[in-house]
Chains A and B, each alone.
Chain A
Amino acid sequence: MVVNNQMKGLKTFISDLRNLKDKDEEKRINIELAKIRAKFQSSTLSAYDRKKYVSKLLYIYMLGYPISFGHLEAVKLLTATKYSEKQIGYLAVALLLNENHDLIRLVINSIKKDLLSLDPFNNALALHAVANFGGREMCETVYPEIQQLLMSAATENIVRQKAALSLLHIYRKFSDIMDTDLLEPIIMLLDDDDINVSLAVSNFVFLIVCREPSLHRLVCKKAIHKLKLIVSGRGYSSGYVYYSVPCPWLQVNLCRILLICHEEVTDESTKRSLINVLGRMLNIFEDLKDTPHLNVINAILFDAIKLAFAIDDTGSLYQKCMKCLGDMISDKEPNVRYLAFDTTAYLISCGHNLPSLKIHRDIILSSLRFKDVSLRKKSLELLYMMCDAENFKSMVDELLVYLPYLDSVSQEDLISKVASLTEIYANDYKWYVDVNLQLFRVAGKSVNDDVWHQLVRVIVNNESIQQYSVRKLFKLLQSDSTHDSLTRSGCYVLGEYGYLIANEPGSSPLQQFITVYKKLHTSSIGTKVLLLTALLKLSKLQPDLHKRVASVFKQYSVSLNTEVQQRACEYLQLLSLPREFLSIVCEEVPVFTIPSKKNLPSISNKSDVSLSDSLNSTKEIDVSSSLPGFYRLCWRDKGILYRDSQVQVGALMEFRDSKVCLSLYFENRKNETFTSFSSTLLRTFPNLKVDASFTDTIFSPDKQLQQRFSIDRLDELFDPPIIRVSFLAGVVRSVNLLLPIVLSKFLRPTVFDSFTFFQRWGLIGVEREAQLAFGLNGVHSKLDERRLMRIIIGLHWGICSGIDTNPSNIVGAGILQVSAQNIGCLLRLEPNYQNDMIRLSIRSTNTTVANVLATSMQDILKNSFYADS
């Protein structure tokens, strides 16, 4: 027996592998796999051998080699009588089989049997299996048994807690299987005498409060009661005291549950008792501050502080919370500091006012210097949140001090944040120019095009700072090594406004010419082109520059780069024309009318942190917060595009003839007035027009602001437009929204009979077909027939029902008008409800249209079946 359990063969195999070099490892594994395969085929395989070989397979699998056989043997182990064999069987099934495997039915039978078994160990194995990988069929089959195990008083607690989590898996993935009447009894279990059943149930209740607002009142009552019990030192056994804190995990869970449903705390006495409990929790921190194991105390504290602020951010707890937060911000331990920053940023984003935070600013600033990329990102995020109309100047100045010490990813992040701060708050353009130039000088390589475009635009649009800017830029250009962004903006401004400083000493036209000329040799192609244009503009300053400039153009008219060559040749021609002509061509650029914020880099409070310093972040606009609304509105004409605690954006689509209109309605959800409210297009396309937009930038609570977009006709394909909404509510808030204007909105639904459809389908042919097969996003998404149909109709397809041989397939047609051309589009969609997969085929007379339609539909369909939507 003892020898059996040790599985000597497995050990020898592992030892063997460990002694081999990498390339020999694969050889050895292939030999072993062949041996195991042969063993499995022989009819006389003992249970012990089966366990041993399956274990070997598992080890090989963990090393990263694919396993293509042995699944049946694993399933056979499930029915073994010996526990150790059964255990390996369950382990193997969990790792090797997915919920759609052919053998899953056999697995389900074994699980059902083990759930009914009287042995708690067997129950436990089966419950784990359901919780870890239960598919729809499995969950449907075993749901009654699991419910029984959880609710029956005869079940051992150790099994009940596992049953709670298995049931949670079912509720999370397939909530339709769950009896909704069962939710209330489960909430009651929060009060269970066994602390571990409570812990398991608290996970369950967390999901319930996320999904069922109607049960908030009940949950709230139970959770406060339980929290009170634990904090006052009752209702748990000593085994659950972890480093002198009772059941910390349960306390954290309860705080998180209450954070969601705290609005149900309406009566004063409940509120007071909750405040008392929280006060006690905060006191624990004071008492235990000097103990070595603070992790667990802090874990509770962070959640307690968030909850305390949500319930009452002015009262007795405020001072205590601020003190704790302050202590944690200045904590030396990086984990605590990181979470303190995170919590503070969260509180500010919820609209809480934290003036006493200012005394910690230096500590937060100094964290920018840390080596740890996570901490740096967090501190930058927090500093950005802390900015307001009063302190922005000193904040920006201080951020600039740190700029030279950062790595390139953090520099880029900091620059885009500083650029946006200066732009939002700037009332003094001189200061704005100074700050930007400092960015260029110190960290030119991390400045992206948007930032310098923006600077140029501001200079062009504000006459009062033109002379000042050109003088400054000219001075900077004279240094030997300047980065591209500085060279480009400098030379552009010099070409445009060089005449303003032409009479000052040291900046005569000739000196300006020499400065630009010097840069020409060492610059990149893109910059060279801009420099040539600047030279052309300079040439009109003084007649004797004419010749020099012409010789430069001549020199570059044989450049190997076609773009440079073309410009040089064209400019050379221009110079030979009469002078009046040149001055017309080189007239000053008019004021930019495009909204100034158009090209600013996206600023998001929650920007993803790249994994490590060396991974470059992609510079895409982050629209993630509006995506759920976007996907929904792609197939609906009316609804909420975005909502948070402060604003709500509703959208309404209207269709008149071939005209498509989108109206956005902004609503203020807070009881305070926002200022500097603006909404600007970050990404647009030529046919999109802004029909009407609010002009007021003050957004009071009783007002609704409206913005209207329209598209008369379509000349080309496009990407959905993006707007940025920003406003001041104590601090700057901004959010990017992806507008639900997609190509399929322009489809005219058409219905064909079977004959016409297939005739056209065949005519277009497979070579102009875009076909995509894909699964759904989201772990718990489930394909639903009715919803799918609504989406397809909502995407403006005419449904041709009953013409496909397979009734579950959806066939549709539509006509798209692009630049006065009618483009026919045909759709065939094959859903696979078992596997939650979709195959999408679109044929169109225009291949690009087919591709664009297919990819955008894939995107929409993938994201439209989340379990909670």
Chain B
Amino acid sequence: MIYAIFIFNNKGNPRLTKFYTPIEESDQQRLLGEIYYSVSNRTAASCNFLESSLIAGKNRIIYRQYATLYFVFVVDEGESELGILDLIQVFVEALDRCFNNVCELDLVFKFQEIHAILAEIVSGGLVLETNLNEIVAASKSQMPKSKRSGGLNIGTTLSSFATRF
């Protein structure tokens, strides 16, 4: 199962943290720091997996970088590494469709909606939905019917990187 999901930028600022297993509040921030440290020091030519023992004994960190953002999943032995890697891709593509060219600022200002989209993909630490159309439809139906405010669109969009792999 998935123990935790983090999104942070290349400076280590958290953009989303979600735990599917109870973790003490004080440990949450420490964990974030340690994962940021180990992930941000890796080169682009490295693989996207790390073994660790940060949460509940042995587990693996699977991460992917899009523009300035790192998407990190901490999972146990039961999950397929490449499956999770593609799930991150699905997540980003869903964000991209929901926000029309998503960028880091969308994640900052609309963190509640990011949580809602994530809830369509992962529930209780397990993969719930992988069909992009379904995810987007379900997420959009919950979102406020507001238009994007133009002033926000100043960050680098992630979509140009979404097809990197």
B-side contacts of A844, CB under 8 Å:
none
Residue of A nearest to B28 (CB): A64
B-side contacts of A256, CB under 8 Å:
78, 80
Q: A2-B146, A779-B56 are known contacts. Are A161 and B81 too (CB-CB below 8 A)? A: no
Instruction: Flag if B81 contacts A335 (CB, 8 Å).
Output: yes
Main secondary structure of the interface of A (DSSP, over half): helix
Which residues 32-67 of B have a CB within 8 angstroms of A? 32, 34, 37-38, 41-43, 45-53, 56, 58
From B46, B49, B108, B126, contact of A200 by CB (8 A): B126
Q: A18-B108, A293-B165 are known contacts. Are A335 and B127 too (CB-CB below 8 A)? A: no
Q: A98-B22, A252-B80, A335-B48 are known contacts. Are A127 and B112 too (CB-CB below 8 A)? A: no
- Give Cα A63–Cα B21 distance, bound, in whole angstroms: 20
Instruction: Flag if B111 contacts A88 (CB, 8 Å).
Output: no
- Give Cα A337–Cα B146 distance, bound, in whole angstroms: 46
Instruction: Flag if B78 contacts A206 (CB, 8 Å).
Output: yes
Instruction: Flag if B47 contacts A338 (CB, 8 Å).
Output: yes
A590 to chain B, nearest CB (A): 43
Residue of B nearest to A132 (CB): B124
- Give Cα A608–Cα B80 distance, bound, in whole angstroms: 19
B138 to chain A, nearest CB (A): 7
Which residues 98-126 of B have a CB within 8 angstroms of A? 108-109, 111-112, 115-116, 119, 123-126
Instruction: Flag if B47 contacts A374 (CB, 8 Å).
Output: yes
A-side contacts of B111, CB under 8 Å:
58-59, 62
Q: Judge whether B161 is part of the interface by a CB distance below 8 angstroms.
A: no
The contact string, 1 if C-beta is below 8 Å from chain B, for chain A 290-312, is: 00010110110011000000000
Q: A2-B146, A5-B144 are known contacts. Are A299 and B131 too (CB-CB below 8 A)? A: no
From B47, B115, B123, B145, contact of A335 by CB (8 A): B47
- Give Cα A792–Cα B46 distance, bound, in whole angstroms: 49
Q: Judge whether A741 is part of the interface by a CB distance below 8 angstroms.
A: no
Instruction: Flag if A63 contacts B14 (CB, 8 Å).
Output: yes
From A2, A199, A203, contact of B144 by CB (8 A): A2
Instruction: Flag if A168 contacts B126 (CB, 8 Å).
Output: yes
How many chain B residues touch A (CB < 8 A): the figure is: 66
- Give Cα A252–Cα B83 distance, bound, in whole angstroms: 8
A-side contacts of B29, CB under 8 Å:
64
Which residues 290-349 of A have a CB within 8 angstroms of B? 293, 295-296, 298-299, 302-303, 334-335, 337-339
B-side contacts of A605, CB under 8 Å:
none
B-side contacts of A302, CB under 8 Å:
80, 82
Instruction: Flag if A249 contacts B130 (CB, 8 Å).
Output: yes
Q: Judge whether B68 is part of the interface by a CB distance below 8 angstroms.
A: no
B-side contacts of A18, CB under 8 Å:
108
Q: Judge whether A375 is part of the interface by a CB distance below 8 angstroms.
A: yes
Instruction: Flag if B20 contacts A161 (CB, 8 Å).
Output: no
A-side contacts of B48, CB under 8 Å:
334-335
Q: A6-B144, A91-B115, A371-B45 are known contacts. Are A199 and B80 too (CB-CB below 8 A)? A: no
Q: Judge whether A185 is part of the interface by a CB distance below 8 angstroms.
A: no
Q: A88-B112, A206-B78, A779-B22 are known contacts. Are A611 and B38 too (CB-CB below 8 A)? A: yes
From B80, B89, B142, contact of A83 by CB (8 A): B142
B132 to chain A, nearest CB (A): 8
Q: Judge whether A14 is part of the interface by a CB distance below 8 angstroms.
A: yes
Q: Judge whether A609 is part of the interface by a CB distance below 8 angstroms.
A: yes
Q: A249-B127, A372-B47 are known contacts. Are A91 and B112 too (CB-CB below 8 A)? A: yes
Instruction: Flag if B42 contacts A199 (CB, 8 Å).
Output: no
B43 to chain A, nearest CB (A): 6
- Give Cα A611–Cα B141 distance, bound, in whole angstroms: 41
Instruction: Flag if A128 contacts B86 (CB, 8 Å).
Output: no
Instruction: Flag if A372 contacts B128 (CB, 8 Å).
Output: no
Instruction: Flag if A62 contacts B14 (CB, 8 Å).
Output: yes
- Give Cα A370–Cα B50 distance, bound, in whole angstroms: 15
B-side contacts of A372, CB under 8 Å:
42-43, 45-47
Which residues 4-21 of A have a CB within 8 angstroms of B? 5-6, 10-11, 14, 18
Q: Judge whether B17 is part of the interface by a CB distance below 8 angstroms.
A: yes
Q: Judge whether B16 is part of the interface by a CB distance below 8 angstroms.
A: yes
Instruction: Flag if A158 contacts B138 (CB, 8 Å).
Output: yes
Q: Judge whether A166 is part of the interface by a CB distance below 8 angstroms.
A: yes
- Give Cα A332–Cα B85 distance, bound, in whole angstroms: 18
The contact string, 1 if C-beta is below 8 Å from chain B, for chain A 89-103, is: 001000000110000
Q: Judge whether B129 is part of the interface by a CB distance below 8 angstroms.
A: yes
- Give Cα A430–Cα B108 distance, bound, in whole angstroms: 65
Which residues 652-685 of A have a CB within 8 angstroms of B? none
- Give Cα A675–Cα B46 distance, bound, in whole angstroms: 39
Residue of B nearest to A91 (CB): B115
A-side contacts of B89, CB under 8 Å:
295
- Give Cα A40–Cα B48 distance, bound, in whole angstroms: 45
Residue of A nearest to B133 (CB): A239
Residue of A nearest to B50 (CB): A374
The contact string, 1 if C-beta is below 8 Å from chain A, for chain B 84-95, is: 011101100000
B-side contacts of A148, CB under 8 Å:
none
From B131, B146, B165, contact of A196 by CB (8 A): B131
- Give Cα A302–Cα B41 distance, bound, in whole angstroms: 28
Instruction: Flag if B46 contacts A334 (CB, 8 Å).
Output: yes
- Give Cα A581–Cα B1 distance, bound, in whole angstroms: 70
Instruction: Flag if A165 contacts B123 (CB, 8 Å).
Output: yes
- Give Cα A370–Cα B119 distance, bound, in whole angstroms: 38
Q: Judge whether A174 is part of the interface by a CB distance below 8 angstroms.
A: no
Known: A66-B25, A98-B22, A299-B80. 5 other contacts (CB 8 A): A64-B28, A168-B124, A206-B78, A256-B80, A611-B38
Question: 6 A-B residue contacts at CB 8 Å?
Answer: A165-B124, A165-B126, A203-B127, A240-B130, A335-B81, A374-B47
Chain B residues close to A by CB (< 8 Å): 1, 14-17, 20-22, 25, 28-29, 32, 34, 37-38, 41-43, 45-53, 56, 58, 78, 80-83, 85-87, 89-90, 108-109, 111-112, 115-116, 119, 123-134, 138, 141-142, 144-146, 149, 165
Chain A residues close to B by CB (< 8 Å): 2, 5-6, 10-11, 14, 18, 55, 58-59, 62-64, 66, 83-84, 87-88, 91, 98-99, 121, 124, 127-128, 130-133, 158, 161-162, 165-166, 168-169, 196, 199-200, 203, 206, 239-240, 242, 247-249, 252, 256, 293, 295-296, 298-299, 302-303, 334-335, 337-339, 370-375, 377, 608-609, 611-613, 615, 624, 778-779
Q: 4 smallest A-B Cβ distances: which pairs?
A: A131-B124, A5-B144, A299-B82, A372-B46
